[in-house]
């Protein structure tokens, strides 16, 4: 069975602060894929990143960075110098190996950036 846990339900930070969103996952598959999606107030799901289980290299994209730690089954997401436009609900998701087509989502973290 697959499971994604986002323990932080809501986070509020003042603009320009850094913030880290936690994601812990469970899977029996040796090959799997991890994702982060952003859901702004308008409701759509915006793809941010995909990570393969065999690639533990951390990634940085502008103000966004992701820390994948297989040893702790975590895939955390950090926003540096936060901006008001970062306010959204962020979902971490997991897909198992070939033949397991579904994405399992976490419960999401609502991030509010205070101007």
Residues 6+ away with beta carbon under 8 Å from 42: none
Q: How far is the CB of 67 from other proteins (least distance, A)?
A: 20
Q: Which residues bind other proteins (CB under 8 A)?
A: 33, 35, 37, 43-45, 47, 50, 52, 91, 93, 95, 100-108
Q: Using alpha carbons only, what angle is made at residue 59 by residues 5 and 27, rounded to the nearest 5 degrees? A: 30
Alpha-carbon distance 16 to 103, whole Å? 32
Exposure letters 26-56 (e unless 16+ CB within 10 A, then b):
ebeeeebbbbbbbeeeeeeeeebbebebeee
Could you identify the residue written with the tokens 């941010």? 48
Q: How far is the CB of 96 from other proteins (least distance, A)?
A: 10
Q: How far is the CB of 17 from other proteins (least distance, A)?
A: 25
20/107 with CB nearer other proteins: 107
37/66 with CB nearer other proteins: 37
19/95 with CB nearer other proteins: 95
Q: How far is the CB of 52 from other proteins (least distance, A)?
A: 8
């Amino acid at each position: 069975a697959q499971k994604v846990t986002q323990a932080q339900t809501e986070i509020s930070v003042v603009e320009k602060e850094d913030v880290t969103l936690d994601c812990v996952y469970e899977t029996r598959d040796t090959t799997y894929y991890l994702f982060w999606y952003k859901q702004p107030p308008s409701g759509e799901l915006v793809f941010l990143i995909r990570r393969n289980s065999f690639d533990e290299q951390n990634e940085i994209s502008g103000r966004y960075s992701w820390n994948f730690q297989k040893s702790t089954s975590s895939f955390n997401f950090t926003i540096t110098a936060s901006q008001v436009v970062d306010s959204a609900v962020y979902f971490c998701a997991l897909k198992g190996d070939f033949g397991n087509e579904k994405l399992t989502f976490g419960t999401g973290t609502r991030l509010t950036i205070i101007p």
